[in-house]
Amino acid sequence: MSASPTATPAASATGVALRVEAARLLVAVLDEGRSLKAVLAERLPGLADPRDRGLLEAIVFAALRHERRYAFVLAHWLSKPLPMASAKDRNVARLLLVGLAQLDALGLPPHAAVAATVEAVKQLGREGLAGLFNAVLRKATREAWPAPAALAVSSSHPDWMLRRFAIDWPDRVEVLLAANNSEAPLWLRANAPRFSRAALAERWRAAGIASEPGLAADSLRLVERANPATLPGFAEGAFHVQDLAAQLAVEALDPRPGLRVLDACAAPGGKTLGLLAAVGATGEVLALDVDARRLERLRGLVVSLKPSEARFEARLADAGQPAGWHDGRGFDAILLDAPCSATGIIRRQPDIKVHRREDDVAALAALQAGLLDALFPLLRPGGRLLYATCSLLRTENDAQIAAFLGRTPAARGLPLDARFGFDTGHGSQRFPGEDGGDGFFYALLERRAEAPQVSPGAAGSSSTARKPPPAMR
């Protein structure tokens, strides 16, 4: 094995510290079971330089996207696994993932990546492993990597997820896997009607920032990634971050001015903003969520962006138990963005591949069914409910809706046009990467005009299992 490289400008103190922090973030996600979104929210703000934040985020995302393949490669190259007994051991072991991610997925200059990663080993107090790290990472730059025979390993997906994709979408498996491992674009929604998409795009163009409109009426995709807080209009509340597919959910429901609308699982609040804009000054929106912190952030978002003068209330409540919050008045429209497996947004949350378990799906499907049964009776006759998930699994999507329609004579499904994706027969499925958007499912349900409305106490009495598994939305 060759000697460890000496510190170079490429292995600056900042660069070494970033690699150490990346390893610690991976330990938090892979070994402590924490969500990537949560740990990034805690630790990214501590980095003053946006370039450092961007590099740290890119390394961690790449390592998680390809973790299973990297583990396979390391198992072939190491004579024995690195120890994982102590916190320091785990930080050091995860540094190898950091190194491979820089060389493979990110394509960073090998000398800089290797030097900074080896120096990080020393900073963690494992100087004796510096030579091993140097040899392994140099090997990664010079030799062909061992190729896994199993598709689940080469694509870094859990076996069960690949199996479900193969059952549900046999002609799309490899496309779905590749999309899940790709980088998601940055989508923004113009805060209409206060700010128009065209005016916002022109303002950015004048500042040298290129953008493209999407299928949703107020959507814009940045051609090159940027920190939204640095864009013209951010301080004025001219836009907010929201994926194309999530924006389309409000358009599928198509709420009109003056309507009373329920946003049943509302946080983080992007769809709530779209609903408020749609119903206008004469409308009313009630937003519910079971998480107090997320609901408070939603309130702050609505106050800062103020999309319309509509009556608005955000309430901490379990949407599946209407007896605890419903006042007896019917809703003209309900948006149910249901908790789900989140298999359609893996490119944005790659830790879903780590945290999600197959038995979560059955529990989530039961939760979704309970929410549908509880909320649909709260519609006024002729009212509409939009059921949406960010899942690719038919158990949570068209099979869920088929079962609901089978047990609910008062409900009927309504068609959606081609913007909303592939017609499954009981809803529309969008796949990750299509038109640049996330994977999403939509089903539009109407309450038959002749159907009687039930009392609030009768709905939701059989709802079960209110707390979903983590890292889903």
Q: Which class does domain 244-447 fall in?
A: alpha beta
Q: Which fold has domain 9-144?
A: N-utilizing Substance Protein B Homolog; Chain A (1.10.940)
Assess whether pLDDT exceeds 90 at residue 464.
Answer: no
Name every residue whose Cβ is closer than 8 Å to that of residue 198 and which is 6 or more positions away in sequence: none
396-421: pLDDT as tens digits: 999 999 999 999 999 999 999 999 99
Assess whether pLDDT exceeds 70 at residue 471.
Answer: no
What is the DSSP track for 417-469?
A: -GGG-EE-SSSEEE-TTGGG---EEEEEEEE-TTPPPPPTTTTTTT----SPP
- Catalytic positions are 390
Q: What is the pTM of this model?
A: 0.92
Q: Which fold has domain 187-241?
A: Alpha-Beta Plaits (3.30.70)
Q: Find the range with the poorest average confidence among 90-99, 278-287, 293-302, 462-471.
A: 462-471
Q: b/e for 327-359, b at 16 or more Cβ within 10 A? A: eeebbbbbbbbbbbbbbbbbbbbbbbbbbbeee
Residue 453: predicted pLDDT? 54
Do 9-144 and 244-447 agree at the fold level? no
- Largest Cα–Cα separation, the chain: 81
Q: Residue ranges per domain, the chain? A: 9-144, 187-241, 244-447
Residue 452: predicted pLDDT? 59
CB-CB neighbours of 418 under 10 Å: 9
Assess whether pLDDT exceeds 90 at residue 12.
Answer: no
Assess whether pLDDT exceeds 90 at residue 455.
Answer: no
Which whole number is the average pLDDT over 192-220?
A: 97
48 band by pLDDT with thresholds 50, 70 and 90: confident
Assess whether pLDDT exceeds 50 at residue 86.
Answer: yes
Which whole number is the average pLDDT over 365-392?
A: 98
- Using DSSP, state whether 50 is helix, strand or coil: helix
Assess whether pLDDT exceeds 90 at residue 204.
Answer: yes
Q: Which of 241, 194, 234, 193 is closest to 219 using CA atoms?
A: 241
